[in-house]
Amino acid sequence: MIPRHAVMTALALALGACDQSREGTLEIAVMGNSSALKESGQRLSPAAQLLRSATHEGLVSFDERGRVVPALADRWIVTDNGQSYIFRLRDGTWPDGKRITADAAAAALRKTIAGLKGRALGLDLAAIDEVRVMADRVIEIDLSAPVPELLILLAQPEMALLWQGKGTGPMAKGQDGEGASIFTLIPPEQRGLPKQPDFARRARKLALTFASPDKAVALFNDGYADVLLGGRIDTLPLAGSIGLTRGNVQLDPVIGLFGLMIDSTQGFLGASANREALAMAIDREAVIGRFNIGGWQGTTRVVSPDVEDDLGTIGERWQGMSVEQRQNQAAGRVAAWKGAGKAIPTLNIAMPAGPGSGRVFDQLQSDFARIGLSIRRVGERDRADLRLVDIAARYGRATWFLNQLSCTVQKAVCSPVGDERVAEARKSIDPAARAALLAEAEAEITAANGFIPIARPLRWSMVRSGTSGFAANPWGWHPLPPMAWLPR
């Protein structure tokens, strides 16, 4: 085995050479595989989403704070009833130099929406009735009912519009002599936009290094990266308890789904009451306690109480029961199953690699053992009975959560009745009626016990003091273009 100090010395020498050739470049370490550079289509890894949003634009995009900003559309208006969005396209060009027109942009948008059919994001956009061309540079999106989060949805990386398979920027991807991925802002005049006198002075290159989580953290800690992106719960222990208080580690205030998805309905897991037994057995406070993160809270709800359209009529489950009482009741269901002569084999739980996943597994193993179940950890791509999911919400409404758990997306366990209520809510133009229908849907989907919530997700990054273009935000999303601009 090669000594660690020898590896780090070689790494330092290699990166030192890169630093000499990339003076003034912002060095970014990304947790992920360099294969993200070759991903295409609309099923993208988090690293590929980051790259897509840098080199491909939709009608709108995000700034560093997660706010919607102009992209291909330089302005827009929303009608009083919220069922029509009118976008005026910028006076620019496609990658081949042809002028951007509403006809081409609308066709690209229709194709993008069609490609999302069968996915949760496609359900989020299901209220779009028509994409119409109103004038040479004006597009109108007509909705069957108001979609307050439409601009946020249109800013997603998957909503980028392609022209002959290419994106419009705002960045171009290349490589330097050392093989690093270099992202550079495209001069405005090359995109058919007015020239900016201070462009050369303000624009800086970004050098992205894709690495395993431990190597990415080492790059930051050893001074070879100014920004580290891609942190999740599975890698959180790599940040270190000192880093969390030192100021370099940034936690995003995200909401979303973090828990166990039922992937098999064979045997014991075929009954909703038995799946509920697993949910009752988990000591959520103990799971959180293994990470020592202040303000992180467990939950038994499939929808975050922080969403705008939560009526507050559905609370946490099993209120008034202690963990011990819940586990005793769950143990009774397991004992009854076994008492009927039915075996329960060891359950496989698919999890991503990483020390954080290990901490979660250890607590689950302890909790499930208390009710008479044994579990085994397998790889996140392996076939399993249960799967640990960790997804940050794309927008802050109940529909995001319920669409993630719909029968369209989750094949093993779902609630057709819950989906019907969501579909009814999607058509409702009365906010109160819509919220009531979504509450009914949550109740139905919760009762199916196809997803076992544990807590809200965590997203973390490491950022060197004084780095511009980065900010914690509610989506856990850190686009590259803002980091490529130096302050005025």
- pLDDT at residue 42 in the model: 80
**What type of residue sits at position 350?**
A
8 belongs to a structural domain: no
Mean pLDDT of 19-28: 73
Question: Distance between CA 395 and CA 478 in Å, rounded?
Answer: 15
Tokens standing for residue 17? 């050479």
Domain annotation covers residue 6: no
**What is the reported pLDDT for 241?**
52
Q: Kindly state whether residues 243 and 325 are assigned to the same domain.
A: no
Q: CATH no. for residue 358?
A: 3.10.105.10
Q: What confidence score (pLDDT) does residue 23 get?
A: 67
Is the domain of 243 the same as that of 276? no
- Please check whether residue 1 lies inside any domain of the structure: no
Asked whether residue 334 is assigned to any structural domain, the reply reads yes
Q: Find out whether 37 and 52 touch, Cβ atoms under 8 Å.
A: no
> Is the pLDDT score of 95 beyond 60?
yes
Query: What's the pLDDT score for residue 309?
Result: 86
Measured distance CA(483)–CA(486) in Å, rounded: 8
For residues 127-131, average pLDDT: 97
- Mean pLDDT for all residues in the chain: 91
Does the pLDDT at position 6 exceed 70? Answer: no
- Secondary structure, 3-state, the chain: CCCHHHHHHHHHHHHHHHHHHCCCCEEEEEECCHHHHHCCCCCCCHHHHHHHHHHCCCCEEECCCCCEEECCEEEEEECCCCCEEEEEECCCECCCCCECCHHHHHHHHHHHHHCCCCCHHHHHCCCEEEEEEEECCEEEEEECCCCCCHHHHHCCHHHCCCECCECCCCEEEEECCCCCEEEEECCHHHHCCCCCCCHHHHECCEEEEEECHHHHHHHHHCCCCCEEEEECHHHHHHHCHHHHHHCCEEEECCCEEEEEEECCCCHHHHCHHHHHHHHHHCCHHHHHHCCCCCCCCECCCCCCCCCCCCCCCCCCCCCCCCHHHHHHHHHHHHHHHHHCCCCCCCEEEEECCCHHHHHHHHHHHHHHHHCCCCEEEEECCCCCCEEEEEEECCCCCHHHHHHHCCCCCCCCCCCHHHHHHHHHHHHCCCHHHHHHHHHHHHHHHHHHCCEEEEECCCEEEEECCCCCCCCCCCCCCCCCHHHHECCC
Do 265 and 407 reside in the same domain of the chain?
yes
* % the chain with pLDDT above 70: 93
pLDDT tens digits, one per residue of 257-271: 999 999 999 999 999
Distances (CA, A) of 361 to 19, 287, 355: 40, 9, 10
In this predicted structure, the answer to whether residue 16 has a pLDDT above a threshold of 60 is: no
Residue 155 has pLDDT above 80, yes or no: yes
Q: Phi first, then psi: give them for residue 13, nearest 5 degrees.
A: -65, -45
Check which CATH number belongs to the domain holding 113 and give it: 3.90.76.10
* Residue 325: how many other CB atoms lie within 10 Å: 12
Identify the residue whose tokens are 């994001």: 121
Q: Are residues 286 and 297 in the same domain?
A: yes
Query: Would you say 361 and 349 are in contact if contact means Cβ atoms under 8 Å apart?
Result: yes
Query: Distance between CA 54 and CA 74 in Å, rounded?
Result: 17
Domain range for 418 is 256-455
Residue 424 has pLDDT above 50, yes or no: yes
Tokens of 200: 């050369």
Whether 321 is in a domain gets the answer: yes
**Domain final residue pick, 124, 159, 194:** 159
pLDDT at 177: 65
CB atoms within 10 A of CB 80: 6
Query: Do both 246 and 267 map to the same domain?
Result: no
Strand bridging mode 26-31 / 206-211: parallel
Q: Which two tokens stand for residue 478?
A: 């850190």
Query: What is the C-alpha to C-alpha distance for residues 323 and 424, in angstroms, rounded to an integer?
Result: 37
Do residues 305 and 372 both lie within one domain?
Answer: yes
Q: Residue 182 CB: number of other CB atoms within 10 A?
A: 17
- 89 lies in the same domain as 237: no
7 pLDDT exceeds 70? no
Within-domain flag for 9:
no
Q: What pLDDT sits at residue 401?
A: 97
∠459-160-483 over CA atoms, to 5°? 50
For residue 50, being part of any structural domain is answered with no
Is the pLDDT at 311 greater than 90? The verdict is no
Number of structural domains found in the chain: 3
Query: pLDDT value at position 158?
Result: 95
Token look-up 């008479």 returns 372
Same domain? 218 vs 283: no
| Mean pLDDT, residues 442-453 taken together | 98
Q: Once rounded to an integer, what is the mean pLDDT over residues 370-390?
A: 97
* Cβ proximity of 74 and 89 under 8 Å: yes
CATH number at residue 232: 3.40.190.10
Is 50 exceeded by the pLDDT of residue 1?
no
Domain boundary among 90, 124, 159: 159
Q: Which residue has the tokens 């719960």?
A: 233
Please provide residue 176's backbone torsions phi and psi, each rounded to the nearest 5 degrees.
Answer: -95, -175
In terms of domains, do 142 and 176 share one? no
- Give 410's pLDDT tier (boundaries 50, 70, 90): very high
pLDDT digits (tens, 9 = 90+) for 59-80: 999 999 999 999 999 999 999 8
Q: What is the mean pLDDT of residues 475-482?
A: 96
pLDDT by residue (tens digit) across 239-289?
885 445 456 899 999 999 999 999 999 999 999 999 999 999 999 999 999
Residues 309 and 445 in one domain: yes
Same-domain status, 448 and 316: yes
Residues 317 and 396 in one domain: yes
Strand partners, 485: 203
Q: What is the mean pLDDT of residues 406-424?
A: 96
Domain boundary among 159, 178, 211: 159
pLDDT for residue 19 is more than 80: no
pLDDT value for 72: 96
Please state the rounded mean pLDDT for residues 48-59: 95
Q: Does residue 2 belong to any structural domain of this protein? A: no
